[in-house]
């Protein structure tokens, strides 16, 4: 069977489908629990009374920051919906508008499973089962 990230996850065999839905669940949890949060703090070198500066208290996940900077008008709400659809096996084939995010996240998950990734400075290796199933890397890009 030939599968690419333009196709729904439900077309994959059960064992590979489970890897995708688990990873989508992880990414969904990560995105829900980590969001950019900026607070005001006292300036270390105040120029006037009550001088405050902005400081980052919490950041978006690194993988989300990369996607955000890679696509024009990338939206968090659509990301959450796409990850939830993948997790529930309700993702749809790629089309320009409503299911573009599904394809983007399927490609991200495919890459994480077949190539591995870094998480908080640690190397997370590729999943051998996924690498064996796909055998070759996809070269497609979602635009």
Average pLDDT, integer, range 8-12: 95
Sign of CA dihedral 101, 102, 107, 108: positive
C-beta neighbour count of 24 within 10 angstroms: 25
Four-residue CA torsion sign, 67, 4, 81, 28:
negative
Dihedral sign, CA of 55, 60, 66, 71?
negative
Residue 97 has pLDDT above 70, yes or no: no
Helix extents (H) in the chain: 14-33, 62-70, 76-87, 100-115, 128-134
pLDDT of residue 98: 60
What pLDDT is stored for residue 1 in this prediction? 58
Statement: the pTM of the whole predicted model exceeds 0.85: no
8 A C-beta contact, residue 91 and residue 104: no
Name the residue among 63, 85, 58 with its Cα closest to residue 74. Answer: 63
pLDDT of amino acid 85: 96
The residue with tokens 């591995």 is 116
- Residues present in the chain in total: 143
Q: Considering the chain, what percentage of its residues have pLDDT values greater than 70?
A: 91
Distance CA 126, CA 112 (A): 7
Residues 113-143: pLDDT tens digits? 999 999 888 999 999 999 999 985 443 444 4
56-87 pLDDT, tens digit each: 888 999 999 999 999 988 999 999 999 999 99
Cα gap 84→67, rounded to integer Å? 17
Q: What is the mean pLDDT of the chain?
A: 89
Q: What is the pLDDT of residue 63?
A: 96
The pLDDT score that the predictor gives to residue 138 is: 40
């Amino acid at each position: 069977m030939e599968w690419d990230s333009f196709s729904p996850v439900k077309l994959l065999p059960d064992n590979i489908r489970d890897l995708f839905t688990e990873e989508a669940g992880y990414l969904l949890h990560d995105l829900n629990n980590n969001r950019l949060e900026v607070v005001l703090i006292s300036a270390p070198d105040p120029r006037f009374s009550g001088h405050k500066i902005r400081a980052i208290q919490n950041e978006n996940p690194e993988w989300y920051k990369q996607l955000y900077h890679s696509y024009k008008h990338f939206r968090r709400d659509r990301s959450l919906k796409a990850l939830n659809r993948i997790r529930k096996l309700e993702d749809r084939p790629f089309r320009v508008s409503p299911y573009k995010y599904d394809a983007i996240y399927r490609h991200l998950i495919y890459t994480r499973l077949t190539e591995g990734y870094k998480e908080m400075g640690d190397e997370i290796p590729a999943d051998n089962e996924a690498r064996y199933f796909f055998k070759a890397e996809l070269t497609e890009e979602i635009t």
